[in-house]
Amino acid sequence: MWKILQPQVGEWRLTTSKLPQACNLNIQMQGKSSVACSSSLQKDMAANADSSGYTELTTEPLIGSDLLILTTCENVNFTFANISLINQFGQVIESYSPSVTDQLDIVTKIRVPRQAFRIQTILQLSNGIRIQRIEKQLISPTMFTIELTNQPYILSPGETIQMNYTLKSSLSEQVYIRLQIRDTLNLIGTNDIEKNLTFTNETSQMDLFTLPINFRQKSINDMIIFTLSTYNNKTDKFSYENDDIAAVYFELNSSSIPKTTNYFIFFLLCVVFCL
């Protein structure tokens, strides 16, 4: 670990003489600053789903898809903002000007590239100084995604819900996909679901799940995992591509929750002494 005292603004070069030349090294810079910025990928939501109009993307993004980057900054007053996608070597893949900017949130529309990327933010402060922030996470775009379209899922005992979802492909030709759906706790589905699907660009599907009317467990939620795999002609096997998790919440009234009654039995021993 090296400590840099009074660092100068600009580009730096780290030169070492004790490390092997053939090694691939990852250098992580850490510093103390009152300016905090963080960026995350967002996707558009249905107009009636959320007043903000977007929500955080929880899976790997689809190559070529249109997404948003939400950048939130604290303790900073800036006059200019630039959002870039950079590769793992720090080279700029694409730069964007924000579509919405205020002193709290910066919203930027992007097109997802084919290669892995990080999000870089450059701000120019009111005093002319420029600052840069780069997210640590290396985002790896994928050729296939699954989007759950009618969340959240809320169930009462005896009720059935319909889960709607869309499978998307970044390829222009027809693809063969295996979809596996698994109830992690086996609460609303005793058997796994497996589908072999052939489609171009995208296809919409649905499945029904029922919470038994005699449900008496203490669990208040469950998770359904949707996993995508593609068939490889060379290996004659399916290879994992992507997945998504649907959270299911249970509405249980007091009669649905099992009660435990503890009985305490006291024995009274009477001893009579006769004279």
In total, how many domains does the chain have?
2
Over the chain, what is the mean pLDDT?
82
Domain limit, last residue, from 72, 99, 134: 134
Q: How far apart are the first and last CA of the chain?
A: 90
Residues 6+ apart with CB under 8 A from 11: none
Domain containing residue 228: CATH number:
2.60.40.10
Q: Is the pTM of this model over 0.85?
A: no
What is the distance between the alpha carbons of residues 81 and 78, in angstroms, rounded to a whole number?
Answer: 7
Domain assignment present for 82: yes
Domain assignment present for 201: yes
Structural domain for 159, as ranges: 144-250
Asked if residues 107 and 113 have their Cβ atoms less than 8 Å apart, the reply is no
Question: 158 and 109: one domain?
Answer: no
What is the distance between the alpha carbons of residues 214 and 158, in angstroms, rounded to a whole number?
Answer: 7
Q: Residue 250: is its pLDDT beyond 70?
A: yes
Question: 97 and 159: one domain?
Answer: no
Q: Quick one: residue 53, left, alpha or beta (phi over 0 = left, psi -120 to 50 = alpha)? A: left
Q: Residue 7: is its pLDDT beyond 50?
A: yes
Domain limit, last residue, from 101, 134, 167: 134
Which of 27-31, 60-64, 149-153, 254-258 is least confident?
254-258
Question: 170 and 231: one domain?
Answer: yes
Question: 122 and 220: one domain?
Answer: no
Question: 157 and 125: one domain?
Answer: no
Question: 96 and 42: one domain?
Answer: yes
Domain limit, last residue, from 83, 111, 134: 134
What is the distance between the alpha carbons of residues 135 and 88, in angstroms, rounded to a whole number?
Answer: 11
Q: How far is CA 208 from the centre of its chain?
A: 24
Residue 54 pLDDT: 84
Question: 159 and 216: one domain?
Answer: yes
Domain assignment present for 275: no
Question: 149 and 246: one domain?
Answer: yes
Arithmetic mean of pLDDT, 119-143: 91
Domain containing residue 83: CATH number:
2.60.40.1930
Residue 173 pLDDT: 93
> pLDDT confidence of 261, banded at 50, 70, 90?
very low
Instruction: Give residue-wise pLDDT tens across range 191-219.
Output: 789 999 999 999 999 999 888 888 877 77
Domain assignment present for 258: no
Residue 190 pLDDT: 62
Question: 128 and 164: one domain?
Answer: no
Question: 156 and 119: one domain?
Answer: no
Q: Residue 266: is its pLDDT beyond 70?
A: no
> pLDDT confidence of 51, banded at 50, 70, 90?
very low
Question: 128 and 49: one domain?
Answer: yes
Place of tokens 């004659």: 236
Residue 189 pLDDT: 66
Question: 182 and 111: one domain?
Answer: no
> Within 13 Å, how many C-alpha atoms sit on residue 6's CB side?
0
